[in-house]
Amino acid sequence: MATCSKCAGTVLLEDQMACATCDRIFHFACAGMIEANFRKLSKINKTNWKCPVCKNSIQPQAGVEDRLEALFANMKKEMKEDSLSLRKEMKDEAESTRRDFGALIAGLSSKIDNCLEKYDVLSSQVVSLKGDMDSRFKNLEKRITDLESSDRASLAPAPRGRDLEMVAAELEERRRRASNIIVYDFPESTLTNSMAILADDLSRVKQSLDQLRPHFSGLVQRISRIGRASASGGEKPRPIMVVFDSPATATNVLVANRSSQPPVFSAASDRTHAQRDYLRSLREELRRINEEGNSNHTIKYIGGVPSIVPSTEVSRDVPGAIASHPNFNVLLVGDYNTPNADWDMWNMDAPLRHLSPRELSIWEPMRLHQLRQYNNIPNASSNYIDLVLTDLASPAVRPAVPMLDIDPAHPPIVLSFKVSPAMSNDFYAPAQFVFNFKRGNYDGMKEFFQSQDWEFTSTQPLEEAVDEFYRIVDDGINRFVPRTRSFDSSFPKWFSSDLIALIKSKRLAHSRYKISGTSIDYDLFSSLRRDCKTLSKRNYASYVDSVQSSVGNNIKEFWNFVNYRDGLNALPDCMSLNGGLTSSPKETADLFASFFSSVYEDPVHYDPVYPTSDVVSISSFVLSVDEVLQALKALNPDKGMGPDGVPPCLLRSCADVLAVPLAAIFNKSLNAGSFPLKWKDSYVTPIFKSGCKTLVSNYRAVCTISSIPKSFEKLVVGRLSPIFVNVIAPEQHGFIKGRSTTTNLVEFTDFVFSGFDSGKQVDVVSVDFAKAFDRVSHKHITALLQSMGVYGPILSWIESYLSDRRQFVRFKNVVSEPYRASSGIPQGSNIGPLLFVIMINSVTSIPRPEGVELLMFADDLKIFGVVSSEDDYMGIQTFLDSLQGWCLANCLHLNPAKCTAASFSRSSRLLSFPYRIGGGVLDRPASIRDLGVFMDAKLTFSHHIDAIVSKALRALGFLKRCTRDFTSMEAIVLLYKSLVRPILEYSSVVWSPYYQVHKERLERVQRRFLRYLNFKMHIPLEELDIVELAARSGL
């Protein structure tokens, strides 16, 4: 007997329902069933029955907690696994997206750079076009203004006072009528049908046109009679308007008709009402002038080609004007009315016969002053009436695009030529003279300096002492250095004064012979011409000999010879940057200054702190007079002078006298911890790199520092270098005595070959710092030096040396406004490289994971190591991440676009790991160029040999072109050894070829030179003492 769990009553066995889950027993009625349904339940259904509580999971039974806990643990485990799997998938997807995004950004950056460059070019063109349109609009406005003040009608568009819209309407009307002509005196047809009349008029017009040119009639679009027909059948027929296919056809028809003798028909252009009113006003003015009897005013239409240029004025005024400006170029433009002149023959100095007096009056000044005629745009009659006579170098003449109708006899032209206007500004103005230091009286100057009292160098403050020193030196220059006028001669630089005088005599004799035609004048001219040729050859040979003889001791003369011959010094007159366009040298210099100054960083506003190392200890030192004397005597006298105006040749010649005051000033500067302001100025010269020459961004800056401060720096470096040489890490190979690019490459390739020997792969990441020399912080340099043990006056002196430096861009004899170099190492200085190496040397203090190596040459850094697993890859990547933090702390920046990764291995299956800088994956080129040497994955150097052979052949071709007139074998061989062979031998110990085919390619370059030398100098090859490359370099 059991008890019901609901009513607590006794339950018979045949009436009970037992819950399969909680085992509690119920009456079937208490379980919610009727008897009929209960009796129908099968045994299985009764066994599986659940009470309402268990069925709704409200009342847990004993043991359910354990099962639920197990269920929840299993669910938690599955959810964790799903979460980890989902996180990995999302991380992989994000990494893939970041890589793709980095590549996309790099591609977009490259495209944006290309677009910006194209934008600069288009901007300059748009600015030029805008200037041209503005000029045309201003001319149009001026013409309108002039016509407003006139009391007569005008051919020009309607005046501004009436409405500018009428101007446009007038121009449009003229354009529409430009294809029309008006023909007169064609009799009216006697037919009555209008279509038949039109066909009859068209037939007669076409017949007349066929008499001019057979094709003219086919170009007629339509015709029509102008005006109303006379009711009485008057005698004068109405004119006919003929419409052609184009304005050019209408012009050609009128020109052909005028050229016919007599004209086939009477015709004129289809003029607007304004044009007809203007012609009527001209006729009225002519009638009034004639009635008043004023014979000094004549208005007359002259058919054909008029001859109204007075020959006497040309022959008298033109030579006189030119003679009064002997150093100026000549440009004569005007209507000379010489339709029969053969300008090709005139420009070629060909023999001329039967010249009219008028032609002689033009031709003689042309020959006497070396003028040429450049207008090649014929008028409607195929003649050249408007002439462009000049001695300028190849001016460009092109047809103009007029806004108004053109005069067929005088088509408008656009003349373009290069000029060099004299420019000036507050800081520098080209003087009318220059000092000829090569002819200075330095013995007299030394005596003058010896007589001076230099006591002020010890008693006066530093800046005042420097100013007084330069005052005395400038006084000596004015006393003992002759002045010479600087001007650009139209004659070649090798012409002597005797040859120039002889050429002028020859020209005069030639002009006389052309006028007289006598044999006596011809013999005189012929003799002078022969003497000119002989002396010219002698002068040129002497000039070439001087260049040849200077190759060994002053190579600058050779480059001047090359630049003068090829005109390589010419720079564009118009330059652009970011849409800005300049045309004057002063504006261009300022634009360069703006661009060059943009690379500098603003000074930091905090004091950097470095850990104290005290590896050195120096606060001051004293320079001896003997040290200063040796530095002055070591100056190259052929170098140019800097902003202070004192050339090195003067300092070297007067070194014995100037060493004492300069030593006193140098030591005063060191003791005071101050660098003189005058010595902080430097000139900057733009040097073209590549690309479009008109873009300022395609130039780099080269600085010129005065000789005195540069010698001062050299002496300071001589004292500091031995102190810091042991501080510089062995990984640094730049600017260190005994180390070079070759030693850097040898160490790297030795490491790679060691990896090859052990069957390992070597990965290298080449890091590029973005303009590190220009952007290094001055405060960081001085703070680092202080932490190393530099203190006192010498630390203040270095801080003063770096700060407040001014630079001026020098461009075409003008200089820009000054700008400050607020960061970076002074370019061209002696102490700058040492300071930069000390600064970049702290890279070696970054903790390096095991197996990671690095090498440097100045700011060229490569990080490398053996890579055989992901752990090795992560070691290099960890160092790259630390390097980015070091750059941030030292105010330097990496340039990821120029950083590359490469792998070296003998195996064809490389492990390619994605090295990153700044979130982007680095490029992996097939070969990298490291310090001028191309390296592929297997270090075969085949790409490098291809590159240097190509470069050497170009250099050899350049040498052959430049030495065409040379006669000295020693000079040619020396140029080959200086310009060609170094290309083939640079770092040959690194890439020395082991394939015979590569060796032969290198030797062929030298054999080409030997054959050229054999042909030119007629010397057997066996007598040419030039060692093969293989024997010289051990290839």
**Among 628, 629, 627, 623, which Cα is nearest to 656's?**
629
Query: Where residue 526 falls among pLDDT bands split at 50, 70, 90?
Result: very high
State the amino acid at position 427 in one-letter form: F
Residue predicted with more confidence, 232 or 72 = 72
What's the mean per-residue pLDDT of the chain?
80
Q: Which of 90-99, 353-362, 680-689 has the lowest mean pLDDT?
A: 353-362
∠ CA 82-87-93, nearest 5°, is: 125
Q: Which of 61-75, 97-111, 930-944, 974-988 has the lowest mean pLDDT?
A: 61-75
Residue predicted with more confidence, 203 or 491 = 203
Identify the sign of the CA torsion 815, 820, 821, 827. positive
Query: Where residue 422 falls among pLDDT bands split at 50, 70, 90?
Result: very low
- 1003-1021: pLDDT as tens digits: 888 888 888 888 888 877 6
Return the CATH fold of 179-227+236-270.
Alpha-Beta Plaits (3.30.70)
Q: Residue 239 and residue 265: Cα distance in Å, rounded? A: 12
- 292-325: pLDDT as tens digits: 544 444 333 333 333 333 444 444 455 455 544 4
DSSP state of 922: P
Q: Residue 366 and residue 361: Cα distance in Å, rounded? A: 9
pLDDT at 637 over 80: yes
Identify the sign of the CA torsion 809, 812, 814, 817. negative
Pairing mode, if any, of strands 806-811 and 681-688? parallel
State CA 985 to chain mean position distance: 31
- 1-19: pLDDT as tens digits: 678 877 877 777 777 888 8
Q: What is the pLDDT of residue 211?
A: 87
∠ CA 721-725-731, nearest 5°, is: 135
Residue predicted with more confidence, 347 or 751 = 751
State the amino acid at position 205 in one-letter form: V
Angle at which helices 311-323 and 357-368 pack, to 10 degrees? 10
Phi, psi of 374 (to 5 degrees): -115, -10
- 775-828: pLDDT as tens digits: 899 999 999 999 999 999 999 999 999 998 999 998 877 888 889 988 888 888
> Which residues have CB under 8 Å from 519's CB, separation 6+?
none
Instruction: Establish whether domains 179-227+236-270 and 730-777+823-936 are of one fold.
Output: yes
Please say whether the beta carbons of 4 and 25 come within 8 A: yes
Length of the chain equals 1035
State CA 184 to chain mean position distance: 62
Residue predicted with more confidence, 793 or 390 = 793
Q: What is the pLDDT of residue 677?
A: 92
Helix (H, G, I), strand (E, B) or coil at 766: strand
Q: Residue 879 and residue 885: Cα distance in Å, rounded? A: 10
Domain boundaries, the chain: 2-134, 179-227+236-270, 278-310, 318-416, 484-566, 730-777+823-936, 942-1033
Neighbours of 291 (CB within 10 A): 8
pLDDT at 1034 over 80: no
The pLDDT > 70 percentage for the chain reads 81
Question: In sequence order, what are the beta bridge partners of 930?
Answer: 933
Q: Residue 398 and residue 416: Cα distance in Å, rounded? A: 9
Q: Which of 164-178, 264-278, 668-682, 791-805 has the lowest mean pLDDT?
A: 164-178
Q: What is the pLDDT of residue 326?
A: 41
Neighbours of 447 (CB within 10 A): 13
- 528-552: pLDDT as tens digits: 999 999 999 999 999 999 999 888 8
Give residue for tokens 């702290």: 842
Burial 1012-1031 (b: 16+ CB within 10 A, else e): bbeeeeeeeeeeeeeeebee
> Which residues have CB under 8 Å from 934's CB, separation 6+?
927, 928, 941, 943, 944, 947
Overall average pLDDT of the 240-260 stretch: 86
Q: Residue 591 and residue 584: Cα distance in Å, rounded? A: 11
Overall average pLDDT of the 336-356 stretch: 61
- 595-615: pLDDT as tens digits: 888 888 888 888 888 888 878
Q: What is the pLDDT of residue 416?
A: 78
- 136-182: pLDDT as tens digits: 666 666 655 554 444 333 344 444 444 566 777 787 888 888 899 99
Q: What is the pLDDT of residue 231?
A: 62
pLDDT at 704 over 80: yes
Residue predicted with more confidence, 389 or 887 = 887
pLDDT at 680 over 80: yes
Q: Residue 891 and residue 774: Cα distance in Å, rounded? A: 11
Neighbours of 711 (CB within 10 A): 22
* 730-777+823-936: in CATH 3.30.2010: no
3-state DSSP of 520-575: HHHHHHHHHHHHHHHHHHHHHHHHHHHHHHCCCCCHHHHHHHHHHHHCCCCCCCCE
Per DSSP, which regions of 868-975 are E strands? 900-904, 916-917, 920-921, 927-930, 933-936
Give residue for tokens 């030394």: 446
Give residue for tokens 């960061």: 823
Question: In sequence order, what are the beta bridge partners of 415?
Answer: 397
